[in-house]
Every structure is written in structure tokens, then in C-alpha cells.
Amino acid sequence: MLVQIAPGDPINAIVPPDAPQDVVEQVRRDYGLDKPLPVQFGIWLMKVVQGDLGRSLATGRPVWSDLQSAIGNTLMLAASASLLGFILGCMLMAIIFAPLVAPHDPFQGIHLKICRIAQAVRPGLADDKNLGVSC
């Protein structure tokens, strides 16, 4: 569908510019680009429902294999960004609300927040006498 919206002829990405006209027409028929747009969409939709996403015009490989190779990196990036956002959000929250918890000593509020997080992660860690930390 998107190849119809994009400027230019999608066949130019597949065949060389000096290809004979009969080769161009054969490739156009092979890819179904000689049919009207609603028919192309119906054929594409039927294939997608069956799990066939087609072949890439750029690489010639199945689209599903290209998606599979990219999905792992995409999920890793999304998870890393979410974790980083969560950590930075917690730190900013502690800094912003610390004066409200202990207006005379803003760093005491941060200390308490860090201790609560440490106790949630590993009970007993925040009261470790060897580390010199006590909540």
C-alpha cells in the first residue's frame, strides 16, 4: 500500500533503469502492481491474515524475517529506556520532595528514600553495620 503513496515507481527499485519493457511488465505482474489498488489491498490483507507479510521490495527477503531480526534490539532499547526513565524519575522525585519531608535538612529526606529503596530491594541491606549505613 505504501508503495502507491511514495513518489516514483516501485519497480525502479527492483529492476535496473535500462531493463527492457517486457521485463518491467513481468516484474509488475509478479508483484501484483498491475492490479487496481483495492484489489492489491484485498490480496495483501488476505496474506497478512494467513501470516504472510510478503517480501521486501528493497532486499527481496521475507518481511517477517526482517522484523524478527529487528524486534530483539527494539525490545532491548525500549526496556533500557524505561529503566533509565524510572531511575531518573525516582531520583528527581526524591530531590524535589526531600524539602517537604525534612525542611531543615533536605539531604535527610533523600537518605530516607534511598534507605527505603534499599530495604525493598534487599531487606537488611540498609541496616548493615559493616557499611556504616543505618536507617
Q: Report the pLDDT value the prediction gives residue 96, as an integer from 0 to 100.
A: 77
Mean pLDDT by 10 residues, the chain (135 residues): 65 82 88 87 91 81 88 94 96 78 60 71 60 54
What are the C-alpha distances in Å from 61 to residues 33, 53, 55, 66? 18, 11, 5, 7
DSSP state of 12: G
Q: Report the pLDDT value the prediction gives residue 77, as an integer from 0 to 100.
A: 96
Tell me the HSE value of 17 on the side-chain side, using a 13 A CA sphere. 1
pTM comes to 0.44
